[in-house]
Structure 1
Amino acid sequence: MDSVDEILIKKLPKNEVDKFNRIFFGRKDHSTLRLKDETKKASENDNFDVFGYSFDATKEQLRQPRVLRLGLVQHSIVLPTHKPITEQRTAIFHKVKKIIEIAASEGVKILCLQETWAMPFFLCTREKEKWSQFAESAQFGPSTMFLSELAKKHEMVIISPILEIDENATWWNTAVVINEKGHYLGKHRKNHLPSVGSFSETAYYSPGNTNHPVFDTKYAKIAINICYGRHHALNWLMFGLNGAEIVFNPAATISEFGESFWGIEARNAAIANGYFTCSINRVGTEEFNLNDKVIKRTYYGSSYVTAPNGIRTPMMSRQKDGLLTAEVDLNACRQVKDQWGFNMTSRLDMYAESLQNIVENKGDNQ
């Protein structure tokens, strides 16, 4: 199955598609962007999908539109996981560079890659030392150096989720933000770690210690809610309270771990918090040979963007590499907040008191 959204549309009678789109996606028409012929040719040659959609905002009298293009990249690994680490990473760099160049040609100014994009997601193997050389410095590691050149070349902000190793040899699941000049802007470390099934990330690194940073880039105020953090409503909330206009959710997740609510959580967060959400998931099957045992994990892609009013794009392929370009007007964030008044009616003081009571009495209830 390539795309659930596509299957639904194909099964509908033509005279019901508009009605379905309005109910399911939030609008009758997807507002498809016209992409360059060169983009389509390049994507066909390198076997990846390209999609583009736009989101409008109401024209205002006192504020000019704040229109920019976002890019989401989903991809598979290139070489088998038993190949030398430098060869695996270089092959992924080569693949991703082509996609980023296409994104730049389409005017993308903020681009986000998937969780730990430059390596296989070996965290399901329960092995650590064997893979340790994939861990890198957030500021000076090979991924940051590689992307810094592209960011500077294209005046593009790039979000690079990596496996970080710090000066104390401690590992973190980290998203690095590189600004449009190619400079390291900062990082966010994953707040919530799963210990579900074979994905026991707590065996590799600690929960993040960077809280909920929002990065004030040249183009927008952005934040990163890494993978498992999307299951925690308060995680989304804090990024919004700290001023985020766009929250990216880079992930590496498989069907067994909640594909049925993949399309719901980030969409709900966009509505509840009045910002754009961008969900990115890797694709492909990754194989690991462990003592004559083979572990396989297949990722389902399905990356998408949601606007603050809940309108979302169709999801990308479940199987194929791809670039999703979304043209957004950031004025929509305040317009939706003004319309719904969620901030005004949020009663944060009441919840803060209740949460404090729960935290203080937690031990008494166990």
Structure 2
Amino acid sequence: MASAYLTASSSTALGVPHPTLRCAMAGGLLSLEACLERCIPPEDLAEVKRILYGGEARKLNLPAAALSAAQERDFELQGYGFEAAPEQLRRPRIVRVGLVQNKIPLPTDTPVAVQVAALHRRIEEIVEVAALCGVNIICFQEAWTMPFAFCTREKLPWTEFAESAEDGPTTKFCQELAKKYNMVVVSPILERDEIHGGTLWNAAVVISNSGAVLGKSRKNHIPRIGDFNESTYYMEGNRGHPVFQTQFGTIAVNICYGRHHPLNWLMFSMNGAEIIFNPSATIGSLSESLWPIEARNAAIANHCFTCAINRVGTEYYKNAFTSGDGREAHHELGYFYGSSYVAAPDGSRTPGLSRVQDGLLVVEMDLNLCRQVSDKWNFKMTGRYEMYAEKLTEAVQPHFVPNIIQEVSNAAVSVSETPQPLKGPEELCLLLLLQCRSRQASKGSNFNFPGCPASSHPASQHTQSSPAVPASCPAVRHKPARAAALRNTEPRLGAASLPGGHRAAAGATGTFPAPGARRRPQDLPGGP
């Protein structure tokens, strides 16, 4: 069905994709959408798209001049729109974004300056078409000025593609585009930070429609999987989760591998992002099954629009490389499968761009939809952020104990034939708790041992009738084999502190030894 596309390319009739176009390098499919159009009966197609994409995005009526230019310049052009309900007190907040995916136009062993110049020319002719389509914010793919050569682990010539984020040639180039077309430009590059020793970063420069550099975002998560040897060149970003206020809305940039980290999306959203761009470079054998899910899920969970962008094509490197994964030396990272798309906060999404071809996706969105969906689902209101923050703070500590509930039976504390060394006050607490359980449990009262970490737990939790003990109780960390040693040891406590009149050795101090501390002879019954 030709109406399912607003597309232009040299390999199609204007607006009508060829139904049998194939590409072996991409696994045989131009796009998932082309396959659906070809194989699903028309009477079922609308329902299939509803299930796959949620509410169907409105097709944009793009200018004929833009469609014609895209065809002449050999890239795909698609346009879709997301609606929001009309409101009484707020006007619609309409913005058009553009997502660009492309192949590198020259071989990877072409001189660096020549490759960069060729990519600048390619992007400029796509941005010109985006301007014809009324795009307000445009974002390019990850490290768009170079081959994604970080698989090779070679330093030269790849580090020569690095530039200053503030005043490098690519930033100046993008500043001119921004001013010329009144367009915010998101330009992901390999950054060289000369102020801090020439350090390299995977970064995205955000340039205002006025031409001013608003700032930059750095890649927070660096992959160490397969041939993605990026930590050979740069490490995790150090700028947190910045959000940029533009004339057209608040935006953020979650670069590539951050897509796999839900909390990374969350933090951009917490800082107020309405649109989060995800410029990427990822290959089919690794992530294509995850690609349609992750950015879409982030849009739903964070009440915002997300824009997933991936490059296309295969990039060949003269020197073969390996990554210690048992594979033979090879010259390619893999096939970059494109498929760029936009997801809305209500869970709907656009179809993706081609898996094999350069493309521009133009998406019109009403940012009022973000708050409307938030008011409906209330994920920000119902999220237990204070609880998550508290537990995450505990989880990063070296002595974190997971909260796992375990079954504890009476047999678990039976006398062992082989006494074990004592470790800490929790085991002493356990012995006393078990000795007194029959008396105290019947009263339903709590144990109250001064200095005892387990004293906050009700006695009934430590009785034979209770099948489980909360894992948060330190007493569950005992080992049965230590019961014999525990049975013959009294803590140095005042008699008044012990239930049932248990008495301590004379001269007790009322304190337990620190966890893991060795017992001195004078600390044990009958000691000096």
Give the superposition deviation at 1:364.
7.4
- The DSSP-based 3-state class of the residue aligned with 1:284 is strand
Within a 5 Å distance, the mapping from 1:11-26 to structure 2 comes to 11-26=39-54
Q: Which runs of 5+ in 2 are unaligned?
A: 1-28, 322-328, 403-528
Q: Deviations over 1:178-219 (max 9, x none)?
A: 000111110001000001111111111010000000001111
Partner of 2:338: 301
Q: Any residues of structure 2 matched to 1:1-366 within 5 Å, and which?
A: 1-27=29-55, 29-167=56-194, 168-290=197-319, 295-296=331-332, 297-361=334-398
Q: Which residue identity lines up with residue 380 of structure 2 in the other structure?
A: N
Over the aligned positions, Cα root-mean-square deviation in angstroms equals: 1.3
Structure 1 residue 20, shift from structure 2 partner: 1.2
Deviation track 1:95-135 (CA, whole Å, cap 9, x = no partner) reads: 11000010011110000000000110010111113222100
* Structure 1 residue 284: Cα displacement: 1.1
> Letter of the aligned partner of 2:394 in structure 1?
N
TM-score (norm 1): 0.97
Compared with structure 1, are the counterparts of its residues 362 and 73 closer, same or farther at alpha carbon in structure 2 (3 Å cutoff)?
Answer: farther
Cα pair 2:94 2:365 within 8 Å, conserved: yes
Give me the whole-angstrom Cα distance separating, in 2, the residues matched to 1:226 and 1:9: 32
Q: Which residue identity does 1:243 align to in structure 2?
A: G
1:228-247, Cα deviation, whole Å (9 max, x unpaired): 00000000000011100000
Preserved CA contact (<8 Å) 2:320 2:331: no
Matched letter for residue 92 of structure 2: P
CA distance in 1, matches of 2:216, 2:225: 26
Distance 1:169 1:255, change over 3 A: same
The question of whether the paired residues in 1 share the 8 Å contact of 2:112 and 2:157 is answered with: no
Tell whether the 8 Å contact from 1:114 to 1:281 is kept in structure 2 after alignment.
Answer: yes
3-state SS in 2 of match to 1:129: coil
* Residues 73 and 322 in structure 1, CA contact (< 8 A), matched pair in contact too: yes
Code of the aligned partner of 1:68: V
How many residue pairs match? The answer is 364
Deviations 1:221-274 (A, max 9, x none): 000000000000000000011100000000000012211010000000000000
Mapped contact 2:394–2:400 kept (Cα < 8 A) = no
Aligned AA for 2:240? Answer: N
2:30 & 2:152 partners in 1: Cα distance?
A: 27
Instruction: Tell me, in whole angstroms, the C-alpha distance in 1 between the residues paired with 2:385 and 2:80.
Output: 35
SS at match of 2:349: coil
Code of the residue aligned with 1:355 in structure 2: it is: L
Q: Deviations over 1:55-82 (max 9, x none)?
A: 0000000000000100000000011011
For residue 108 of structure 1, give the secondary structure of its aligned residue in structure 2. coil
Measured in 1, the distance between the counterparts of 2:133 and 2:67 equals 11
- Gaps spanning 5+ residues in structure 1: where? none
TM superposition shift of 1:6:
2.3
Which residue identity does 2:233 align to in structure 1?
Y
SS of the equivalent of 2:157 reads: helix
SS of 1:93's partner is: helix
Q: Given the two structures, how large is their TM-score scaled by the length of structure 2?
A: 0.68
CA distance in 2, matches of 1:139, 1:269: 30
Using the TM superposition, give the Cα deviation of residue 291 of structure 1 relative to its aligned residue in structure 2, in angstroms: 6.0
| Structure 1 letter corresponding to 2:42 | K
- Asked whether the 8 Å contact 1:126–1:198 carries over to 2, the reply is no
Q: CA shift at 1:363, angstroms?
A: 7.2
How many angstroms apart in 2 are the aligned matches of 1:121 and 1:202?
13
Question: Deviation of residue 5 (structure 1)?
Answer: 2.6
Distance 2:272 2:157 in 1: 40
Counterpart AA for 1:350: M
- The Cα shift of 1:361 comes to 3.4
SS of residue paired to 2:119:
helix
Counterpart AA for 2:211: G
Distance (Å, rounded) in 2 between the aligned partners of 1:30 and 1:231: 25
CA distance in structure 2 between the partners assigned to 1:333 and 1:243 by the alignment: 11
Superposition deviation, residue 23 in structure 1: 1.4
Say if 1:231 and 1:360 are closer, same or farther in 2 by CA, change over 3 A: same
Given residue 109 of structure 1, which amino acid in structure 2 is its aligned partner? N
AA aligned to 2:331 is I
Q: What is the letter of the counterpart of residue 223 of structure 1?
A: A
Letter of the 1:303 counterpart? S
- Give 1:9 shift: 3.2
1:295 counterpart SS class: strand
The alpha-carbon deviation at position 294 of structure 1 amounts to 5.2
Amino acid at match of 1:313: T
Pick the structure with greater CA Rg: 2
In structure 1, distance between residues paired with 2:342 and 2:362: 9
- Give the secondary-structure state (helix, strand or coil) at the position aligned to 1:318: coil
1:287–1:294 Cα contact (<8 Å) kept: no
> Could you say which structure has the higher strand fraction?
1
Contact 2:219 2:255 in 1 (8 A): yes
